[in-house]
Amino acid sequence: MVNVPKKTLVSVVGAAAAALLFSMVPKFEGFELVARPDPIRIITACNGDTKDVHAGQRFAPEECRARLEQRLIEYAEPVLKCTPGLKGHTNQLAAAVSFAYNVGAGAYCGSTTAKRFNAGDWKGACRAMNGRTTGGRSG
């Protein structure tokens, strides 16, 4: 039997973008070892993770790290599929994946941000992300 290596965030987005994401997402999403409602009343745990999470559910820090990596892969792959020009653009790719983590991959791929990245309007794409990442709060 062949031992197939686990897919890693580094293998999907590169080491630099992965490092940025592991730094940025917890900063914006916070860190909760016990699942609770977020500001818009969606049950979240760890670093804003909502997938298969129930109120009061407890997680170890290692579980949160593994869940974060898995979720980031789940968002990075569609981001790269709908905006392939981001490959090799570390900062923009990390920002796009972080944005998709917040709004959803489908919303990202249909967004003004994605359209602008695909058109080569890097500044416009980044500007289009402003104000869409705070769970109903302004800022």
**Partner residues linked to 46 by β-bridges:** 32
* Residue 5 counted as domain residue: no
Counted domains in the chain: 1
Q: Which range of residues forms the domain containing residue 105? A: 10-28+61-129
111, 103 Cβ separation under 8 angstroms: yes
pLDDT, tens only, 25-70: 999 999 999 999 988 899 999 999 999 999 999 999 999 999 999 9
CB atoms within 10 A of CB 41: 9
Put simply, whether the predicted model's pTM sits higher than 0.85 gets the answer yes
pLDDT, tens only, 92-139: 999 999 999 999 999 999 999 999 999 999 999 999 998 665 554 433
